[in-house]
Structure 1
Amino acid sequence: MKRHLVSLLAVCTIMISCFFSQQCLAETLAFRPQWAPQSQFAGFYAAAEKGFYAQEGIDLEIKGGGPGIDALDEVAGGKSTFATGWLISAMKVKASGKEIVNICQLIQKSALVLVARKDSGIKTVDDLAGKSIGIWPGDFQVPPRTLSSMKNIEVSFVDQGFSLDAFVQGEMDVCSAMAYNELLVLLDRHFKYDDLTVLSYHDVGMNFPEDGIYVSRSFLENHPEACAAFVRATIKGWKYAFANPDEIARLITDKANQTEFKTTFAHQKAMLQAMEGLLTFRVGPDGIGDLLKKDFDFVYMVLDHSRQIDNPFTYEDFFKKVR
């Protein structure tokens, strides 16, 4: 009798899965990363390559990303189903009145860091006083300006552009870098790790988690299972990428080298290894995707203090755990 019940349950599960698959495959869903192919998005490419989205009944198009493309705006406007974006950026979009929802917070720890030469005498955040700090435009400026304001440290901000040459040549004291990208370039081409001081925003109590997965509220409300399936497949893709770094780094390298943003296998593998620590920080492999309320509260406070929250919202309104 027990065997028959198990068999019946298995048949029902297959029937439900098939029904859902037919529903999803009737429409191609679109995912827009906020940048071109690189290991920052390895989980998505791995999930597509290994058929994890198809197994969940999702026919997915992965669009290209890069300069001039606002992935979060595309989701808000219905041009893409899913997109990645920084927590800072998404909260500003939400505060402007556009209904987007975070359904999976990927990066748990600020990947944006400040980098200085040790021989400059900079060892702690307090040593930044009076120094020149290179920053990027847009939301990249929020963490360093918040640091300066909250720690009451007078610094000189300079535009570092999209090259680290000015820092390498000693034209600025400190540069901004992503721990999974530009920091790796500095270590690969110019410095040894012991030559540098790397200052983490998280380590001084200012955590700005970056990449999360976003969807419009209307799509989430009308297709909750499709959203859950997308998140499940994506997390499975990330876990596969972490377990098979060589395979997925080669996949990413091949895709990137079909665009204007050329790269190397070694760089993409190092980036993938760095991403694992950022996704599993504090939450572990089984907690990938959670947005901690204290992180939401901190970023909200920063944006509210700088008068960038025109339409107030709550943690419960912004983040929905769907998987």
Structure 2
Amino acid sequence: MTTQRKRTVRAASLLAAAGLALTACSGMGGEAQPAAAPAATANDACETVDSVTVVLQWVAQAQFAGYYAADANGHYDDLCLDVTIQEGGTNVVPQQVVASGNAQFAVSHVNKSMVSREQGADIVNIGQVFERGAYLQVSWADSGIDSLDDLAGTTMGSWGGGNELALYSAMRASGVDPTTDVQVLQQPFDMSMLLNREADSVQAKTYNEYAQLLESVNPETGELYQPEDFSAINLQDEGFGTLEDGIYARDSWLAEGDNADIATRFLAASYMGWADCRDDGDACVQLVLQQGSALGTSHQAWMMNEINALIWPSTNGIGRMDEAAWDRTVQGAIEGAVLTAEPVDGYRTDLTEAALALVEEAGYDITGTDWQRAEVELVEGGR
């Protein structure tokens, strides 16, 4: 029996075990359309395959490796799905693409998504992939900026586009008003503003921009910069962690036909992809590089390692919402004047519970208790 055929048989048994009939793969409501003909089905256990789109927050990189792994390793195929992975960009707001009905799923942050929901977007969190946050505010070690209240009276780079929400919430909670107490500069999506000393501090993520600093050459030494050259305020460590990458869908779409079943299968396959990247990060780095990423191998390896650290170990199982973390994120957004009130029914847990039944039935570890951070050596330019 071939590997593909083994996966097909396993998928059929998994769907049956979870109470999801294979015939439910056909005739779905909403935007998800069945394949035009049996020849288009990637898995011969499926009567038809449901076509859906997931919109990422940014371009192809290890931040989204789990979705590419779910596709490349056949998990979407096994669960009767044909998934289009749509890259994000400066002009793409994933949750708004979903809210407009142009995609079924989005990868987004809680703050960004709940702001959109408060403004009328019909979106709900159905799976919280990242358990921990990655926002940093980085300055030079000699800047005197060691805490959030030190930002008062400084110039500060910020990306905007919703990325400022977590930072602004934390600043306001620390007694610093970002609209009056600092000069905010539009930050490019690199570290040039800090390296050129055009701002006292800039935004960064542990898995991306911080690595850009450490793969840059210090002109005074001719060697790469080191962590001790910088002061990095980690919002998570400061008690202002916010829930970042989760999976969102439209409430109204989920209520149509068997779309909740489609979402369950999408979640299950995606969680399997993330488990693959936990267990073989190097393979997932190669998958992302094959997408044509402009980021180099060592940079992507750093990112994969740091992304895994945001997911694993997963305290309650990947995708399960931590109610306390949700409340902390929402309350911080309210105190920081990002949200005006707590969102009603902003997340649901039933789809992830059904998805994790499939994941465990497939023999996957959903907590990754034994995962440990690897040592990654950065090289100049992240090559």
Indicate whether the TM-score tops 0.5.
Answer: yes
Q: Pick from 281, 284, 300 the counterpart of residue 245 of structure 1.
A: 281
Partner of 1:236: 272
> For the Cα contact (< 8 Å) 1:22–1:57, is it kept in 2?
no
Partner of 2:40: none
**Whose helix proportion is higher, 1 or 2?**
1
The structure-2 alpha-carbon separation of the partners of 1:110 and 1:20, relative to structure 1 and needing over 3 Å to count, comes to: same
Map 1:274-313 → 2, pairs under 5 A: 274-280=306-312, 283-284=314-315, 287-305=317-335, 309=339, 313=343
Partner of 1:84: 107
Separation in 1 of the partners of 2:15 and 2:86? 35
Question: Could you tell me which amino acid in structure 2 is paired with residue 263 of structure 1?
Answer: L
Question: 1:241 Cα deviation (Å)?
Answer: 1.2
Question: 1:231 Cα deviation (Å)?
Answer: 0.7
Question: Could you tell me which amino acid in structure 2 is paired with residue 57 of structure 1?
Answer: C
Question: Could you tell me which amino acid in structure 1 is paired with residue 302 of structure 2?
Answer: A
Question: 1:321 Cα deviation (Å)?
Answer: 3.9
Q: Pick from 82, 88, 100 the counterpart of residue 65 of structure 1.
A: 88
Q: Secondary structure of the equivalent of 1:255?
A: coil
The structure-2 alpha-carbon separation of the partners of 1:17 and 1:269, relative to structure 1 and needing over 3 Å to count, comes to: farther
Q: Secondary structure of the equivalent of 1:205?
A: helix
Please, what is the CA RMSD of the aligned residues? 2.6
The structure-2 alpha-carbon separation of the partners of 1:125 and 1:74, relative to structure 1 and needing over 3 Å to count, comes to: closer
Separation in 2 of the partners of 1:11 and 1:185? 42
Q: Does 1:101 align with 2:104?
A: no
Question: 1:305 Cα deviation (Å)?
Answer: 4.5
Separation in 2 of the partners of 1:149 and 1:172? 20
Q: Does 1:19 align with 2:51?
A: no
Q: Secondary structure of the equivalent of 2:138?
A: strand
State the structure with bigger RCO (CA 8 A, min sep 6), 1 or 2.
1
Question: 1:317 Cα deviation (Å)?
Answer: 4.4
Q: Pick from 180, 189, 198 the counterpart of residue 232 of structure 2.
A: 198
Separation in 2 of the partners of 1:102 and 1:291? 9
The structure-2 alpha-carbon separation of the partners of 1:158 and 1:16, relative to structure 1 and needing over 3 Å to count, comes to: closer
Identity %: 25
Partner of 2:200: 173
Separation in 1 of the partners of 2:22 and 2:247? 26
Map 1:219-234 → 2, pairs under 5 A: 219-222=253-256, 223-234=259-270
Partner of 2:146: 123
Alignment deviations for residues 209-268 of structure 1 (CA, whole Å, 9 cap, x no partner):
2111011112222322211111111011011012112211111012034xxxx1212211
Question: 1:90 Cα deviation (Å)?
Answer: 0.6
> For the Cα contact (< 8 Å) 1:109–1:208, is it kept in 2?
yes
Q: Pick from 273, 278, 295 the counterpart of residue 263 of structure 1.
A: 295
Q: Does 1:319 align with 2:348?
A: yes
Q: Does 1:272 align with 2:304?
A: yes
Q: Secondary structure of the equivalent of 1:198?
A: strand
What count of residue pairs does the alignment treat as equivalent? 308
Partner of 2:381: none
> For the Cα contact (< 8 Å) 1:35–1:64, is it kept in 2?
yes
The structure-2 alpha-carbon separation of the partners of 1:60 and 1:174, relative to structure 1 and needing over 3 Å to count, comes to: same
Query: What runs of 5+ residues in structure 2 fail to find an aligned partner?
Result: 1-12, 28-33, 35-47, 218-224, 356-383
Q: Does 1:111 align with 2:141?
A: no
Partner of 1:217: 251
Q: Does 1:42 align with 2:78?
A: no
TM-score, normalised relative to structure 1 = 0.86
Separation in 2 of the partners of 1:34 and 1:146? 21
Structure 1 stretch displaced more, 178-187 or 164-173: 164-173
Q: Secondary structure of the equivalent of 2:163?
A: helix
> For the Cα contact (< 8 Å) 1:95–1:312, is it kept in 2?
no
Question: 1:16 Cα deviation (Å)?
Answer: 5.5
